[in-house]
Amino acid sequence: MTTRTTFLGLGAMGSALAATALDAGRPSVAWNRTPGRARALGERGATIAKTAEEAITGDGTVVVCLFDHRSVHAVVDPLAASLAGRTLINLTTTTTPTQARGLAAWAAEYGITYLDGAIMAVPKMIGRPGAAIYYSGPEAAFEGNRELFDLWGQSNYFGTDPGMASLRDMAMLVGMYTMFAGFLHGAAMVGADGVPAAEFARQQAPFLAAMTGQLAGLAETVDTRDYAGAGQQSLEFTETALASLVTASLDQGVNVEVLRPVLDIVRRQIVSGYGRQGTARIFEELRESR
């Protein structure tokens, strides 16, 4: 007999996780602070709990997918004693690596097995090709729930450090958000001359896809610390290119707050004497803040 799964938090993502489990025939209990959001899951066969305390009565894994770290503590802290001996899986998107490690330490105090997860998908992708979720924490907890995890998407385990799933997720999101900001900056530039953003997107998307082919080379350069190797675009050249982009943006009446920090880093590297080395050397300045 399949042990039931309890879902605490039924926003768009929490609902998608619970619905996928229900569609696979897994007994599920669902709770949300706003009861109306649970109605659709009840119609699909979920047991709807009126309170979080009621939801965790019994056995099985507890999946938490809430708004932020504060809301996770607000919900699970009062349940600590009742969760002893259970597995708690936190899939709240905005949990940072340090917060995940803190939650793991909190859970250990109460005899709760804590597994952290980071969802690399939007709600409509859950249960479909392309969805992936990162996990970190006790390997036994990951393997023991693998059947459930694989319903949602590709399951990736990154070791016992509970902060590692969040760390990898957030590092990935840095690339995504800065890419989006760069696209919107470019759209603002051409938009100033009447070019629709949709037209610009059709041109930009394949260009960015092609540029991702450069990532492996950048990674090798960073891992070997060989910034003087042949074939690299120098910091001096990049400074000239970025300065031109800033000028062109200002000429179009576009704010340069997206571009300026990158140009500033490049210029500091040049002042420090690294102008003829490869642009990938900005990695050294980024990591020095530790």
pLDDT at 37: 87
Fold match flag (5-160 vs 192-287): no
Whether 87 contacts 135, CB under 8 Å: no
Separation of CA 141 from chain center: 21
Mean pLDDT of 144-170: 98
Exposure letters 211-235 (e unless 16+ CB within 10 A, then b): eeeeeeeeeebbeeeebeeeebebb
Long-range pairs, 117-120, Cβ under 8 A, ≥24: 117/89, 117/90, 117/91, 117/165, 118/91, 118/93, 118/165, 118/166, 118/168, 118/169, 118/170, 119/13, 119/91, 119/93, 119/152, 119/153, 119/169, 120/153, 120/169, 120/172
Does residue 126 surpass a pLDDT of 80?
yes
Distance CA 255, CA 275 (A): 27
Q: What is the total residue count of the chain?
A: 290
pLDDT at 288: 77
In the chain, what is the greatest distance between 2 CA atoms, to the nearest angstrom? 67
Q: Cα Rg for the chain, rounded, in angstroms? A: 23
pLDDT band, residue 146 (cuts 50/70/90): very high
Q: What average pLDDT is seen over the chain?
A: 96
pLDDT band, residue 150 (cuts 50/70/90): very high
Q: Which CATH architecture has domain 5-160?
A: 3-Layer(aba) Sandwich (3.40)
Does residue 2 surpass a pLDDT of 70?
no
Q: Domain segments of the chain: what residues?
A: 5-160, 192-287
Say yes or no: domain 192-287 is CATH 1.10.268.10: no
Does residue 289 surpass a pLDDT of 80?
no
Whether 40 contacts 16, CB under 8 Å: no
CA distances in angstroms from 102 to 3, 50, 53, 61, 165, listed in the order given? 28, 28, 22, 20, 14
pLDDT at 10: 97
Separation of CA 238 from chain center: 29
Whether 30 contacts 46, CB under 8 Å: yes
pLDDT tens digit string along 80-112?
Answer: 999 999 999 999 999 999 999 999 999 999 999
pLDDT band, residue 229 (cuts 50/70/90): confident
